[in-house]
Amino acid sequence: MKRYAVNESAPYGLYVSFSPADVRFVGSEGETLEGRSPLYRKLPTALVILCGPVLGGAFVLAFPLVIIVAIASIMTHLVAKRFRKAAEKRVYLIENAWQPQAAFLQGEQEEETAAQDADQDADQDADQDAEHGEVAKTTETSTDRHDPFDDLRDEIAKRKNPR
């Protein structure tokens, strides 16, 4: 196989370079060989004619497999993308993110302070009404609490002093 350099006049034929891999075709006599590689080798015409059907057969047999692999690759990419998106939304569930400032250790005390605040607000409203000359209504509201021990104390007092 004869060697030809780039930008050199070359005869009709097929030229191959192995580093970097490149194939060039010169279509007429006297045409210059252009390409990325500095050196090309001319393939013999008989070799190209004999290998042509073999390469064509390999392409016909491999092309369906190439299509199947390409479709599987695209589908895998799409499924992985959706899975990653769903996992990113729920990563906080499996992430070790201990936040001691978010611990609610005073649950019942918060309820009691809320009830006391509501009682104080009701007392302040009643005082303001009395200052303005309005009659304060003494109706039972949902914030009024009944002490369960009041009944017990009454029962004890009745048994100690039976009258």
Residue 158 domain-assigned (yes or no): no
* Predicted local confidence at residue 150, as pLDDT: 83
CA distance 22 to 16: 6
Residue 81 domain-assigned (yes or no): yes
Domain that holds residue 31: 3-43
pTM here? 0.40
Total domains in the fold of the chain: 2
Instruction: State whether 32 and 11 are in the same domain.
Output: yes
Token pair listed for 68? 């199947």
In tens, the pLDDT along 74-109 reads 999 999 999 999 888 887 777 776 766 666 655 555
Residue 26 domain-assigned (yes or no): yes
In tens, the pLDDT along 12-57 reads 888 999 888 888 888 888 788 888 888 899 999 899 899 999 999 9
Residue 93 domain-assigned (yes or no): no
Instruction: State whether 62 and 35 are in the same domain.
Output: no
Residues 6 or more apart in contact with residue 30 via CB below 8 angstroms: 9
CA distance 163 to 155: 13
Residue 142 domain-assigned (yes or no): no
Residue 108 domain-assigned (yes or no): no
Residue 69 domain-assigned (yes or no): yes
Residue 49 domain-assigned (yes or no): no
What is the three-class DSSP state of 46? helix
